[in-house]
Structure 1
Amino acid sequence: MSRKRLQHSADTFCHMFCGWRLANSYKDLARLGSGTLEIDVLVGSCRFDGVAIEPLNIAGELHCWLCEDLAAHGIPIDSLLRGSLTAHLSITAVGLRPRSTPVQFFGADGKPIRSGEFYRCEIECESEVVAEGAVYRSRSKDIEEWPMGWPDA
């Protein structure tokens, strides 16, 4: 089993969570609010503040990526003892002006959203991949912002 590949998996979990693939889970994150999200990447399940919840889209994205990547490198998924991502989320409402990210969003009419409230989500995440005799970890921080009600805005 490739140690570099499994470290790459741990790194990729954090990069995917703190990247564009999280956009499909914005509504769910807004509904959940601040707290700790745990994803079991081996099966795609989620817990929020210790309580099982319906899997978020990002959990499925992580799970699918892991399955495809391991298969492409001849590593059986059942050789992993654990694959997880834990994200500590702090979600607040902000206006358009105090935003800290330059990302532009478009409404259903195709025009840029230039007013209204936005969510700011500060993320601190850590991931872990465990195989027999080895543990691979990664960490990442990010700030994501999106309009309230988006993508329906």
Structure 2
Amino acid sequence: MPAHPTPLSRRVAAALFAVLLGMPCPAALAQAGRAPPVLPLASEPPPRLAVHPPVPEALARGVIILQFRTENLRTMAVVGPKAAEVSPRLGHLHVTVDQGPPTWAHTSTDPIIIVGLPPGRHKLKLEMADPTHRILGGETVEVTVPGAGGASHGH
């Protein structure tokens, strides 16, 4: 066997790896002269947002930590009309506290962390937006920031 793999052996290895994973390998398809399959954006399922209840230990200290998960939407800091045409779908979250303003863009998959809200009930509106800021759906979470002496939270 040669010390360095030949182009043919690399293609065979890439194709074999793709078969083992049960999916086409874009590199193998490209080397074979075929374009990798791309799902047209219009036929993608709609994005979904799942927000977990606030972390209780942090909420007891007045810190709201919301973990979330998106489906059919890759959360990242990309904006503009060309980015809105990319498949799989790109986007970010718009976060509004107590019907704002302000609203800010959350552009990562890291948890949303909010500090400094006064004790009491608050509404946090999380909206999925495409790179042109068009709203794709969302969820509102109600949270109670405890005063001195206790914690409670809602979802």
Scaled by the length of structure 2, the TM-score of the pair is 0.34
Structure having the higher Rg:
2
